[in-house]
Amino acid sequence: SQVQDMAKEQVKAAKNMAFAFDIDGVLAHGNHAILEARESLKMLNGDNELGIKIPYILLTNGGGKTEEERCQQLSEILEVPISVNQFIQSHTPMQALSEYYETVLVVGGEGFKCRGVAQNYGFKHVYTPKDILAWDQEASPWRCFTEEERVHAHPVDFKRVKFDAILVFADSRDYATDFQLIIDLLLSENGYFGTKSKNLETNSIPIYFSQGDMVMPTQFKGPPRMTQGAFRIAIEAIYKSLTGNDLERVVYGKPELATYKYADEVLKSWMEEIHNENKLPQNVYMVGDNPASDIIGGNMYGWNTCLVRTGVFQGGPGENAPDSPANFGVFDNVLEAVKAVVR
C-alpha cells in the first residue's frame, strides 16, 4: 500500500543519514549538559516515530583527557552511553604521529593529564613543560609551578634528551612557560634542550597543534574567550620576530581537512555498528556553534551544516553567520536542529 511504501522510503532515508555533533556550545558547556542535547541523542538512539537508530559521531576541537575519560564523563552528563568508537577529539588523529616520533614535548591541559593521552597513543618518551621545570625551574622565570606538581613530575637530565617533536594537545595553563620552552626547542640544535641552532631557516623540530580555534564559549557572561589558535598565533609571531622566517607547523582539528577524513573513517565503522553496513551515509549533518570551524569545515567537506545559538555564534533571530553561513539552517538549540533534519 501507499502507506507502507512511504514508511519504507522513510526508513531508507533514515539509514542514509548521520549526524556529526560539536560538543562545546552544542551538547554541553564544559562539564554541564545543554538540556536539549539529552532528548536529541535519545531520539537518535531510536526513541523516534520510526523506532530506528540514526548514527551520530561527536567531533570536537576539545581535548586534554583520554578518549575513555571524556566519553565516560559525556555519558554521565548526557545520560546516554557515548562510545570511544563514535568520538573524535582534537588530538585523536594525532595518534598516527607516534609512528614517526619517539620523544615528544606535550603541551597543554590540566596537570599531567596529557602525558597519559600521549602514552595511550603509543609515544614512547613523553615529557611535559612541568617535567623540565622540575629539573630546572629557572628555565622559566615567570613560571607557575607548585610543590604538588613537583611530586608528580618526571624530571630527567634534559641536557641529554633529544626531542623529536612538540605536540600541543590542549590549552596552555601557563603561557609564559610554554612560550619559552617551545621557542627554546624550535631554535635548538636538533631538539636538544638548552642548545641553540646556528641555522635559523627552519625550526629545528616539528610542531603540531591539535586545533586552531581562536575563541571558545565559556561560563563568562561576556564575549567568547581565547583558545589554542590565539596561543599558536603568538608562538608564530615570536618565532618570526626572532628568526625572520615563518614557523613551519601543522594544525589539526576542525576545519582542517585531515580531521574530516579521519571523521569519515570513524563514521564508516560506526555505520557498521549501527546498520551493519560499512559505507558512508549520503547525508551527513554537522551541528555546530562556531561558524569559523564547525560550519566552514562542514561546508567545505560537502556536509549539511546546522548552526545553533547556544555557543560562540550569537546572531539574532533570522540571522545566519555572515562569512560562512550554515547551509541547512540556524536553530535555537541542538534539538530544534535534529528535529528539522529528521522531519
Positions that interact with ligand G3P (CB under 6 A): 22-25, 60-62, 213, 216, 227, 290
The verdict on 36 binding Mg ion (CB under 5 A) reads no
Among ligand G3P, Mg ion, none, partner that 98 touches (CB below 5 to 8 angstroms by kind): none
**Nearest to ligand G3P of 206, 288 (CB atom):** 288
**AA identity, residue 62:** G
**CA–CA dist 260, 175 (Å, integer):** 29
Residue 256 in contact with residue 293, Cβ under 8 Å?
no
Q: Which residues contact 80 (CB under 8 A, 6 or more apart)?
A: 38, 41, 42, 45
**Nearest to ligand G3P of 215, 280 (CB atom):** 215
Among Mg ion, ligand G3P, none, partner that 185 touches (CB below 5 to 8 angstroms by kind): none
**Nearest to ligand G3P of 40, 60 (CB atom):** 60
**Nearest to Mg ion of 181, 251 (CB atom):** 251
Q: Which residues contact 231 (CB under 8 A, 6 or more apart)?
A: 168, 171, 172, 175, 178
Determine the interface stretch with Mg ion among 80-88, 108-116, 189-197, 309-317 (rule: CB under 5 A): 309-317
* Closest residue to Mg ion in the complex (CB): 25
Residue 23: CB minimum distance to Mg ion, A: 6
**CA–CA dist 137, 129 (Å, integer):** 10
**According to CB under 5 A, which one of 24, 171, 256, 336 is a site residue for Mg ion?**
24
Determine the interface stretch with Mg ion among 17-25, 28-36, 147-155, 323-331 (rule: CB under 5 A): 17-25
The verdict on 62 binding Mg ion (CB under 5 A) reads no
**CA–CA dist 73, 30 (Å, integer):** 11
Residue 313: CB minimum distance to ligand G3P, A: 11
**CA–CA dist 96, 313 (Å, integer):** 32
Residue 172: CB minimum distance to ligand G3P, A: 13
Number of other CB atoms surrounding residue 169 within 10 Å:
29
Rg, C-alpha atoms of the chain: 22
Among ligand G3P, Mg ion, none, partner that 227 touches (CB below 5 to 8 angstroms by kind): ligand G3P
Determine the interface stretch with Mg ion among 90-98, 147-155, 259-267, 285-293 (rule: CB under 5 A): 285-293
Residue 275: CB minimum distance to Mg ion, A: 27
Residue 63: CB minimum distance to ligand G3P, A: 8
Residue 22: CB minimum distance to ligand G3P, A: 5
Among Mg ion, ligand G3P, none, partner that 164 touches (CB below 5 to 8 angstroms by kind): none
| 127, three cell numbers | 615529557
Residue 53 in contact with residue 44, Cβ under 8 Å?
yes
Residue 251: CB minimum distance to ligand G3P, A: 12
Residue for grid cell 621557542 = 183
Q: Which residues contact 29 (CB under 8 A, 6 or more apart)?
A: 217, 218, 219, 310, 311
Among ligand G3P, Mg ion, none, partner that 180 touches (CB below 5 to 8 angstroms by kind): none
Distances 183 to 69, 110, 171, 247, 257 between C-alpha atoms, Å: 31, 21, 17, 10, 27
Pairing assessment for the beta strands 28-29 and 32-33 based on DSSP bridges: antiparallel
**According to CB under 5 A, which one of 289, 297, 334, 338 is a site residue for Mg ion?**
289
The verdict on 22 binding Mg ion (CB under 5 A) reads yes
Residue whose C-alpha is closest to residue 114's, from 170, 176, 174? 170
**Nearest to Mg ion of 18, 20 (CB atom):** 20
Question: Could you list the residues that contact Mg ion (CB under 5 A)?
Answer: 22, 24-25, 289-290, 311
